[in-house]
Amino acid sequence: MTLLMLPYPLLYFIPLIVGCGLGILIALDPFLSNIMANWIDITVAGINIFKLYPYELSSLILLAVFLLPFVKQILENIFINIERTFIIIFFIGTYIVSLTKISRFDLSELVIILFSMLLLLKFMVENNRFKVPPIVILNFIFFASLYLSSMNAGVMSILDNFLTSVKFTLLTFLISNFIHDRKLLGLSLKVVVVLTVISSLIGIVQEIIYITLGIPIVGFVDAKDIKLYMFEVTSFGTFLRVPAFFGTYKPFTLFLVMAILIIFNYLLYQKPSGLKKNITLIFSILLMFTALILTFTKDGLLSLFVGVIFSIILRKPPFIFYLIICFLIGAALYLSGFLDDLQKEISSEFYRGEYRIRLQLAREGILGFMHKHPWIGVGLRNTREYTGHFYGWPAHNPFILAADAFGIVGLLLYVILLGFSLLNLIKVNLIAEKTSDKWIARALLSAFIAILTLIQFTTLFLERFMWMYMGIIQACTIVMVKNTRTRCAFNEQSRS
């Protein structure tokens, strides 16, 4: 009875707590398994079941035994609330990749497989037709073009392209089908914000533990990747580039930028009246911004700045406001001498710093693409052959990577995919009339611009986040267009 008295939206986040508990269980499994093996002796064929290999299964077996009586009820609840269950469990899996990764699969990918079968079953039971959004069709065309590069990349690239194409196409299909109304769209954004805030807390704790104990607690991540990418040497010492449980800090940066801009636009348009709610939202932004700083990604901070400025411009304050702000900022920068220092810093960075290396990688990637395999590319596995970098780094730009890996054909289709999503967002912003719709449309658009800015400096080409985001954009477009048509039809009936 107590559970039923909880506020209705709060019920949605009970699975979040359960998911966090499962993540902690998996992370602490070796410790729990040793305790159980010492306390309990359940021997089968001369082997203690708590000492089974791999050890990750041992305490999970015990948990599964305890849950067996509730399996039927759990499955019934999942099928009744299949959309909400997918949204919550999928995003949880995305946020705990380094805790649940087994070989090439993690929890979010297993969720995609499971819910694809459940969605198929639901359509069969309810005798409904599949809804195939345009973004899914474009995905089919884009990923079909990737197989052309197999002529240059070898047989193994066929398997790589097949797994990637199936995973991302299913992801956009599921998101655009499960998020089919305004409440589910709002729920998905809330889940992203809540999980990002929790991950920010985890990231800050990771940094504190590393500074005090020197131990990088980042989940199950390859030791080579930790050594190469997870540390930042500064004048104050060596810091951990906090990844939470994403596996690396780059996907974490994408979610941080997205979540901050969601809350920022909510504050711009909704203007919540309660003091407690305002403090909570502002504190969440500060928490996530702190985590973003601790990732030590300059491109992340730059993209967030671009997204915030774009959000303010879309809010349409008086034009004189822009002139006054620009004048004050310009005067402050000039009088402080900051512009001279900035010019020297940028010049030093491009001639001797990290960006000099990135420019060289980009130059080599472009030249290699133009002179070797311009039409169908060399395959995603072989893009590093163009650069010849000591660590095998490819060009740090998704468009150059698309050209290197899949040639002009793949590059054009990749641009069409992103361009289609951008046009959808523009369309949604033009038709949004209610304030409750406007803030979502503006948040998604400003975050998309920020994300496009961010990925220009990374190797995030075939990255799950981008396809997840394009799926959300397609779902938002379908929902907003449907609501607009319904509203117009209602208005016409009222007039007649």
Look over the chain and give the mean of its residue pLDDT values, rounded to a whole number. Answer: 77
Q: Which residue has the higher pLDDT, 54 or 418?
A: 418
The set of residues, in sequence order, having a beta carbon less than 8 Å from that of 118 and lying 6+ positions away, is 78, 79, 82
pLDDT at site 474: 94
Q: Which residue has the tokens 């311009």?
A: 374
Q: How far apart, in Å, do the first and last CA atoms of the chain sit? A: 49
Measured CA to CA, the distance from residue 5 to residue 12 in angstroms comes to 13
In the chain, the percentage of residues whose pLDDT exceeds 90 is 23
Measured CA to CA, the distance from residue 252 to residue 96 in angstroms comes to 11
Q: Which residue has the tokens 């879309």?
A: 314
* CA 9, chain centre distance (Å): 23
pLDDT at site 352: 52
* CA 427, chain centre distance (Å): 23
> Within a 10 A sphere around the Cβ of 434, how many other Cβ atoms?
12
Q: What angle do CA 425, 429, 433 make, to 5 degrees?
A: 150
Express each pLDDT in 91-111 by its tens digit. 988 898 877 666 566 777 888
Contact by Cβ (8 Å): 192, 91: yes
pLDDT at site 191: 93
Assess whether pLDDT exceeds 70 at residue 336: no
Q: Tokens for 148, please give them.
A: 């052309």
Measured CA to CA, the distance from residue 330 to residue 342 in angstroms comes to 13
Domains of the chain, residue spans: 1-80, 81-495
In the chain, the percentage of residues whose pLDDT exceeds 70 is 65
DSSP 245: T
pLDDT at site 471: 93
Q: What are the residues facing 48 on neighbouring strands? A: 43
Q: Which residue has the tokens 């002179």?
A: 371
Measured CA to CA, the distance from residue 285 to residue 275 in angstroms comes to 15
Exposed/middle/buried for 316, CB within 10 Å: 0-12, 13-18, 19+? Answer: exposed
Banded model confidence at residue 4, pLDDT cuts 50, 70, 90: very low
Assess whether pLDDT exceeds 80 at residue 212: yes
Express each pLDDT in 381-397 by its tens digit. 666 666 766 566 777 77
Q: Tokens for 227, please give them.
A: 């050594």
Contact by Cβ (8 Å): 173, 130: no
Banded model confidence at residue 400, pLDDT cuts 50, 70, 90: confident
Banded model confidence at residue 215, pLDDT cuts 50, 70, 90: confident
Lowest pLDDT segment from 53-67, 74-88, 114-128, 147-161: 53-67
Measured CA to CA, the distance from residue 314 to residue 308 in angstroms comes to 10
Express each pLDDT in 126-178 by its tens digit. 666 667 888 888 888 888 877 777 666 666 666 667 777 888 888 999 998 88
Lowest pLDDT segment from 26-35, 221-230, 262-271, 429-438: 26-35
Quick check: bond before 54 cis, omega within 30?
Answer: yes
Assess whether pLDDT exceeds 80 at residue 53: no
Express each pLDDT in 350-384 by its tens digit. 455 566 666 777 676 666 677 677 777 776 666 66
pLDDT at site 45: 57
AA letter at 396 = H
pLDDT at site 36: 55
Q: Tokens for 137, please give them.
A: 């069709």
Contact by Cβ (8 Å): 178, 184: yes
DSSP 105: B
Assess whether pLDDT exceeds 70 at residue 15: no
> Within a 10 A sphere around the Cβ of 101, how many other Cβ atoms?
18
Strands 47-48 and 231-234: unpaired
pLDDT at site 56: 43
The whole model's pTM is what? 0.79
pLDDT at site 1: 37
